[in-house]
Amino acid sequence: MKSSSILPLRSVSLSRDRRSVLPRPLPLFEIQALSRWATRERVIVLFAGSTIAAPPPQGISNILRKSGNRDLGFTGGITLVTNAAAFTAPRFITTTNSTRAGHQVNHFALVQRTNATDVVYESLYPAPGDHIRPGMTHQDGGHIFQHYWRVTREVSDLIRQGEQEHLDDAQRAYELTYGLICKAINALTGQSFGPAPTPFAAEQLAVAALAAALPRQVGTQPALWPQLLDRLLQQTKTRDTQGWHSVATGPPVTEGNKVFHPIITTPTTRVGRIPSSQVVNY
């Protein structure tokens, strides 16, 4: 179960009457259009998605090709986690106005509404069945034997759950950063911050209000928000580096001219035991 970097590949599309959603592949421009519609209609859309089965006999081969690996190693599935550049980041923008009372000018700041959008991650796990081990054959007694990985229903479900954990981690990373920031900014709209002696001072009152609404680790500097999101997104790799998603190949079994290598768990496998709240944090 490996995480990597890729642009969003999958989302949901709206039917023409907008009363239902049908899952299907979408190009990036349609994902962006869906995001704009959700913002206009103030609909909350969860973009992280769900992992998809890669069917035999080429399923694991496809997973390896996407991961850049030549052999299964400890990778049972793959979730391609992107970086902050693929997201729509919230913007903190204020406008100012003023009133005059005699010689005194009072300035006020107004926070403008913003939006942020999550992305979809391509995530694959091997479906139950026998998956070809690419390029792995041997000859014995004039017979050529093809090697396969054998994935049971139980192991397939376990790997699927592991890849969903990567997706849940990514969703939490977004919710702790851009999602939270967007909500905090929009909660300040409609308020007037002032009076203050200068436009800058009025803007600083709005900044202080935002700082009070956000965790200290998030801060109020938009230039630093992408770095924070990237750092939290990368924390999902802990599941792989710690071996919590590890799988291995068991002793081979020969049937006719085929050799099956069963996929098994390892002593470090911890799928389903460690929630995202223990993995993704400031």
Domain ranges (residues) in the chain = 2-278
Among 5-9, 30-34, 86-90, 140-144, the minimum mean pLDDT is found in 5-9
Q: What is the pLDDT of residue 46?
A: 45
> Which tens digit of pLDDT belongs to each residue from 136-182?
999 888 899 999 999 999 999 999 999 999 999 999 999 999 999 99
| Two structure tokens written together for 33 | 């259009």
Rounded to an integer, the average pLDDT of 36-65 is 74
Residues 191, 202: Cα–Cα separation, whole Å: 12
Helix (H, G, I), strand (E, B) or coil at 47: coil
Q: What is the pLDDT of residue 68?
A: 79
Q: What is the pLDDT of residue 81?
A: 87
Q: What is the pLDDT of residue 12?
A: 28
| Two structure tokens written together for 86 | 């693929």
> Which of these, 263, 276, 72, 71, lies nearest to 174 by C-alpha position?
276
Residues 282, 271: Cα–Cα separation, whole Å: 23
What single-letter DSSP state applies at residue 127? P
Q: Contact 149/134 with Cβ under 8 angstroms?
A: no
Distances (CA, A) of 274 to 109, 158, 167, 271: 44, 14, 14, 7
> Which tens digit of pLDDT belongs to each residue from 167-221?
999 999 999 999 999 999 999 999 999 999 999 999 999 999 999 999 999 999 9
Query: N- to C-terminal Cα distance for the chain?
Result: 23
